[in-house]
Amino acid sequence: MKEACGVFGVYYPGNRASYLTYDGLFTLQHRGQESAGMAVSDGQTITVFKEMGLVSNVFNETILTTLEGFLSIGHTRYSTTGSSTWANAQPAYRPMGHAGFALAHNGNLTNVDRLVEKVGMMPGMVTSDSDVLAELISKSSFFSGKDQTHALEKAVGEVINDVEGAYSLVLMDAYRLMGIRDPNGLRPLCLGVFKDESTDSELGWVLSSESAALNVIGAKFVREIEPGELIVIDETGIKSYFPFIVEPKEKLCIFEFVYFSRPDSILYNREVHGTRRRMGELLAIEHGVDADMVMGVPDSGIPAAEGYSKHSGIPYGQGLVKNRYIGRTFIYPTQEQRYKNVRRKLTPLKENIVGKRLIVVDDSFVRGTTSSALIKMLREAGAKEVHMRFSSPPFKWPCFYGIDIPTKDELLAANVEIDEIASIIGADSVGFLSLKSLMEAINAQGKEFCNGCLTGSYPSPVPTDAKPAIKMPATISDAKLFEKL
Ligand code: SF4
């Protein structure tokens, strides 16, 4: 499972926004590793630099020095709509208004075909949903008026009600920084501030997919941007608008808590790491089993494994080592390649696991590829029993909002009964945290979530192609294939 992008923006007069944006993007690298880019304004001119690769490969001291200005937006990309090419790297730029505008997008639009038609783009020319969005905004009548001072925010307000799906956007013209979340608040976006501590006055502002990136650049977390809220920051200060016709709802993607967000980020006023530990505790209550050691699948399974150990009293231990220098990995087209990729990423710690009954905690269950590869590795390394536990329910439906979940045919739990999964992946037992307990672990009173990929119930219209296919998955033959590797 891969997240689809991190966005970041800085408005900080008297400072080099490019350096701050670099540090912000570096912290958001986990949200997308295909390309990185930023747009920077000195108040007159917008300069855009983007390239394929990791943030640290795309930017260096020389490039950052040439990107002069106090205002910047940045983007790290993982593509779910549009191919992984330089043209689709962001920010997207359009030369409208005084110096043009730039846009960076996290999420996925669900009515692109209608928008393409509306905006008059040739279908063959469309390369990504973010590009369509930039084109739609650029076609606003506000860019042809005489007074262009607030053209961008007016243009966004004018067109945004036509846009469906998931989007947290940061935008900029030459003078102002803007951020907007879709009315369901599916993808996160938060606000930070630079303050003069002696006078308590605001010196600058930051927008970020995650609060962890604020800490890194010395900004303070202020709050999350509300679903359906448009924020505009310029020399007059910060303004908030709600330009949507529909009533905003809180439907943050529940997997931000389970997997996507960094453990040190704040969502719904709670640190993500603590909620992951609690998921593990509740998992131990729901799916307890006698064993000698609890271990987590690095990295995102570890907090839940700690929680499982704490509640069950079974000692926590490290059973796998992760290769931290593997860099970018690919979505391999065959199961064989995916199995090999698991071995490339993780290796067992034999002395810690030999002869033991293991409880192995992971965050999520998609195809079963990672689990079956892990189980085989652990058994080869001498594990006596392997009990798989997952700190979320299994995926049964695709995501239409920018998370790279495979088709239903590839989602193992959508195609077999839950109690068949253990034998298919080669585990002694399998247990999934229930949705009820997942909600309890997050404990966000009065908040709601998107859980469409777990329940098939989505917060906005999506293309529906009926129920999961009832067929035996390729995974059974793949399990045989894996035996040979
Ligand atoms: S469908 Fe699933 S992965 Fe997609 S936004 Fe909703 S909860 Fe998140």
198 belongs to a structural domain: yes
- Long-range CB contacts (within 8 A, 24+) of 19-23: 19/64, 20/72, 20/206, 20/217, 21/72, 21/73, 21/74, 22/55, 22/59, 22/64, 22/74, 23/213, 23/216, 23/217
257 belongs to a structural domain: no
Tokens describing residue 438 = 């997942």
Same domain, 14 and 94: yes
Considering only CA atoms, which residue is closest to atom 5 of ligand 1? 253
Name residues contacting ligand 1 (CB within 6 A): 186, 253-255, 399, 401, 403, 450-453
Give pLDDT tens digits for 148-196. Answer: 889 999 999 999 999 999 999 999 999 999 999 999 999 999 999 999 9
Q: How far, in whole angstroms, is CA 280 from its chain's centroid? A: 21
Active-site residue 453, yes or no?
Answer: no
321 belongs to a structural domain: yes
Considering only CA atoms, which residue is closest to atom 2 of ligand 1? 453
- Atom number, ligand 1, closest to the C-alpha of residue 186: 5
Same domain, 242 and 283: no
- CATH number at 47 reads 3.60.20.10
Sorted by sequence, the CB contacts under 8 Å of residue 432 that are 6+ apart come out as: 287, 365, 389, 390, 392, 393, 394, 418
Considering only CA atoms, which residue is closest to atom 8 of ligand 1? 253
User: What pLDDT, on the 0 to 100 scale, is given for residue 480?
Assistant: 38
Cα 165 to averaged position of ligand 1 atoms, centre (Å)? 11
Pocket test for ligand 1, best of 453, 455, 458 (most atoms within 8 A of CB): 453
Cα 448 to averaged position of ligand 1 atoms, centre (Å)? 13
Residues facing 429 on adjacent strands:
387
Helix (H) or strand (E) holding 72: strand 71-77
169 belongs to a structural domain: yes
User: What pLDDT, on the 0 to 100 scale, is given for residue 482?
Assistant: 36
DSSP string, 455-466: HS--SS------
Residue, of 197 and 240, whose pLDDT is higher = 240
Cα 360 to averaged position of ligand 1 atoms, centre (Å)? 24
Give pLDDT tens digits for 257-280. Answer: 999 999 999 999 999 999 999 999
Mean pLDDT of the 211-238 span: 96
Same domain, 183 and 298: no
CA-closest candidate to residue 270, choices 25, 393, 435, 441: 441
Q: Is the peptide bond before 129 cis (omega within 30 degrees of 0)?
A: no
- CATH number at 343 reads 3.40.50.2020
User: Which of 143-147, 241-245, 367-371 has the weakest average pLDDT?
Assistant: 143-147
Cα-Cα end-to-end distance for the chain: 23
Percent with pLDDT over 70 in the chain: 90
Give yes or no for a contact between 74 and 9, defined as CB atoms under 8 angstroms apart: yes
Cα 249 to averaged position of ligand 1 atoms, centre (Å)? 15
User: Which of 78-87, 96-105, 142-151, 176-185 has the weakest average pLDDT?
Assistant: 78-87
The answer on pLDDT for 469 being more than 70 is no
The answer on pLDDT for 475 being more than 70 is no
Cα 141 to averaged position of ligand 1 atoms, centre (Å)? 34
Cα 255 to averaged position of ligand 1 atoms, centre (Å)? 7
Q: How confident is the model at residue 485 (pLDDT cuts 50, 70, 90)?
A: very low
User: What pLDDT, on the 0 to 100 scale, is given for residue 326?
Assistant: 62
The answer on pLDDT for 353 being more than 70 is yes
Same domain, 283 and 397: yes
Beta strands at 429-432 and 165-172: parallel, antiparallel or unpaired? unpaired
Same domain, 240 and 322: no
Tokens describing residue 232 = 């505009």
Residue, of 483 and 4, whose pLDDT is higher = 4
Same domain, 285 and 231: no
User: What pLDDT, on the 0 to 100 scale, is given for residue 241?
Assistant: 95
Pocket test for ligand 1, best of 1, 401, 447, 462 (most atoms within 8 A of CB): 401
Q: Is the peptide bond before 91 cis (omega within 30 degrees of 0)?
A: yes
User: What pLDDT, on the 0 to 100 scale, is given for residue 146?
Assistant: 79
Give yes or no for a contact between 154 and 173, defined as CB atoms under 8 angstroms apart: no
User: Which of 28-37, 180-189, 285-294 has the weakest average pLDDT?
Assistant: 28-37
The Cα–Cα gap between 150 and 283 comes to 51
Same domain, 296 and 211: no
Considering only CA atoms, which residue is closest to atom 4 of ligand 1? 399
38 belongs to a structural domain: yes
Domain end marker among 215, 249, 283: 249
Same domain, 224 and 325: no
Domain that holds residue 379: 272-442+467-484
Pick the catalytic residue from 5, 253, 399, 453. Answer: 5
Same domain, 296 and 209: no
- Atom number, ligand 1, closest to the C-alpha of residue 449: 7
Q: How confident is the model at residue 333 (pLDDT cuts 50, 70, 90)?
A: low
Domain end marker among 249, 284, 318: 249
- Atom number, ligand 1, closest to the C-alpha of residue 253: 8
54 belongs to a structural domain: yes
Cα 106 to averaged position of ligand 1 atoms, centre (Å)? 13
Tokens describing residue 165 = 């799906």
User: Which of 34-43, 138-147, 165-174, 354-363 has the weakest average pLDDT?
Assistant: 138-147
User: What pLDDT, on the 0 to 100 scale, is given for residue 172?
Assistant: 97
Same domain, 284 and 161: no
CA-closest candidate to residue 88, choices 96, 79, 97: 79
Question: What is the tally of structural domains in the chain?
Answer: 2
Mean pLDDT of the 70-80 span: 89
291 belongs to a structural domain: yes
Percent with pLDDT over 90 in the chain: 68
Exposed / middle / buried, residue 87 (Cβ in 10 Å: 0-12, 13-18, 19+): exposed
The answer on pLDDT for 468 being more than 50 is no
Tokens describing residue 118 = 């509306």
User: What pLDDT, on the 0 to 100 scale, is given for residue 426?
Assistant: 95
Mean pLDDT of the 2-14 span: 88
Same domain, 103 and 174: yes
